[in-house]
Amino acid sequence: MRLLHAIRALRGIITRELYRFVHQRERFVSALVRPLVWLFIFAAGFRSTLGVAIIPPYETYILYEVYITPGLLGMIQLFNGMQSSLSMVYDREMGSMRTLLVSPLPRWFLLLGKLSAGTLVSVLQAYTFLLVAWFYEVQAPPAGYAALLPAVVLSGLMLGALGLLLSSFIKQLENFAGVMNFVIFPMFFLSTALYPLWKIQESSELLYTLAQYNPFSQAVELIRFALYGQFNLYACLYTLAALVLFLIAAIIGYNPSKGMMQRKGGAQ
Amino acid sequence: MNAFDAPALSVQRLSYAYGPKLALDAVSFSVNPGECTILLGPNGAGKTTLFALITRLYESRDGLIEIGGFDLKQQSCKALARLGVVFQQPTLDLDLNVEQNLHYHASLHGLSSREAHLRIGEELERQDMFERRHEKVRQLNGGHRRRVEIARALLHRPDVLLLDEPTVGLDVPSRRAIVDYVHRLATEQDIAVLWASHLIDEVHDTDHLIVLHRGKIRAQGTVSQILEAAGSNGIGAAFQLLTREEQ
């Protein structure tokens, strides 16, 4: 693979994703409305019932809106990862995925390119959400916004890789709804996005353990700490490990001789 | 064998099974530059599986596929760089315009923006689509979308052009225009064309034919050779005869 060829291909994949992002305005609006509903309505409603003690990285008592903002950033990226995966299943059914896969580039590179493009879109969505939240007076220290960038890139890649992996397993679009119910909702609710771990532990030791090992929890904690200018090494390594694992599994899934593509037979 | 004296596309003893069901059984053929080969077969003959293998969407352990002299398994990137494909299903991005779709493809083949711009202009001019380059694909009719897909498949100047039933769903004039255009392409640009079809009226007298049925090649050669072998005076009758016994 020539470097120049790889750079041009990557630029092409990213440009296409950005065009699609611009053209599909409803996708952008819905990606933004979903977390805003949680922030404006859900968080406001639960403000008085869910008290949050002082836990790192916070140094004082915080409003519930402030607590769930990193979780909602994670939610944006989780949905974006799944949306990309949905669009890959759609592309595969409709055929446009084939034009990508028959390109004269290694398949791992094409998948990585697709993943990077999806992550870029999710990062743009995350910062747009933060801008709206800022006007709603959910404000982090200015340096936090810069420190957040590598964190949302890593978490976006990890959640996108999970979507990629799922898309290699899902045979048809109809099966996707089930995966949304079995992946997105458990991942989101069994995490630190809406409530801290100690709160979950108070209710159930099992749920606490599951939430602790949920890679989405670690992605949210990585984002939470970064937004306050702090680095959570454990969350970073955990998210990185999950990214590597999901990505390798997705590449195997898309390998024409070893993976799931082979077994789908007639559907292709 | 080096890349220069090899046939543009060579398939040797290729087999493929979906579980216990054999979809292709020791299929062998080759397509030379400037040659238009029609792969004729009824539905379920194995045409789509064969195309999925040649485009490396599937990989088979049995058999060999070479494109431009490069082994698809061992040198997949070099082989795929010499292949242009028009899939049966539409593969254009409906929300992007014609030019954006073509630029995307050009970038995947490593063309620079300047080079891509020039070639996109040339290919669209050739198909009378240049004026419509800024239109969204969604606004084009089926025939025009197919023309864009053919232009796209030719952007990187492939040695082999693969078309999987590209005229399905098109009206008669659009079908005729595409059939004639692709035949001209083969001779004028020395491209090896492999065209899968089940429509015998898409065959020209100068074409090579491969009759595929139930995963096996029943006959291959020039039109006259096929007619002679089948003892028939029309392609339609010959095709029926060659695919009849197990139907």
pLDDT digits (tens, 9 = 90+) for B208-247: 999 999 999 999 999 989 988 888 888 888 888 888 755 4
What is the pLDDT at residue B191? 94
Which residues on B lie below 8 Å from A13 (Cβ)?
104, 107-108
CB atoms < 10 A from the CB of A38, how many? Answer: 20
DSSP A62-84: --HHHHHHHHHHHHHHHHHHHHH
- Any long-range contacts for A138-141 (C-beta under 8 Å, 24+ apart)? A138/A39, A138/A63, A138/A65, A138/A66, A138/A69, A140/A69, A140/A227, A140/A228, A141/A228, A141/A229
Strands B192-197 and B160-164: parallel
Q: What was the ipTM of the complex prediction? A: 0.83
Residue A27 C-alpha from the chain's centroid:
15
Question: Can you read off the two tokens belonging to residue B118?
Answer: 């020039």
Instruction: Sort residue B9 into left (φ over 0), alpha (ψ -120 to 50) or beta.
Output: beta
B-interface mutation test, from A3, A16, A100, most B Cβ less than 10 A away: A16
B-interface mutation test, from A103, A109, A258, most B Cβ less than 10 A away: A103
The overall pTM is greater than 0.90: no
pLDDT digits over B34-44, tens only? 999 999 988 88
Per-residue burial over A242-252, b = 16 or more CB atoms within 10 Å of its CB, e = otherwise? bbeebbebbbe
Burial of A95 (0-12, 13-18, 19+ CB in 10 A): middle
* Cβ–Cβ < 8 Å for A154, A239: yes
Which residue in this structure is represented by tokens 């037979």?
A: A265
Could you tell me the domains of chain B? 1-82+158-247 (3.40.50.300), 93-157 (no CATH)
pLDDT digits over A219-252, tens only? 999 999 999 999 999 999 999 999 999 999 999 9
Question: Can you read off the two tokens belonging to residue A11?
Answer: 């630029």
Tell me chain A's radius of gyration from C-alpha atoms: 19
Q: Average pLDDT for residues B57-73, to the nearest whole number?
A: 91
pLDDT band at A174; cut points 50, 70, 90? low
Nearest Cα residue to A156 out of A118, A108, A102, A197: A118
Instruction: Look at residue A176 and tell me whether its pLDDT is greater than 60.
Output: yes
Residues 6+ apart with CB under 8 A from B172: none
Output phi, psi for B169, to 5 deg.
85, 0
Question: Can you read off the two tokens belonging to residue B184?
Answer: 């001209």
pLDDT band at A253; cut points 50, 70, 90? confident
Question: Can you read off the two tokens belonging to residue B137?
Answer: 């694909």
Question: Can you read off the two tokens belonging to residue A260?
Answer: 């799931």
* Cβ–Cβ < 8 Å for B48, B197: no
With a CB-CB cutoff of 8 Å, which residues 108-137 of chain B face chain A?
Answer: 108-112
Helix (H, G, I), strand (E, B) or coil at A131: helix
Question: Can you read off the two tokens belonging to residue B246?
Answer: 């197990």
What is the pLDDT at residue A40? 87
Q: What residue ranges do the domains of chain A occupy?
A: 3-261
Contact B77 A106 (CB under 8 A): yes
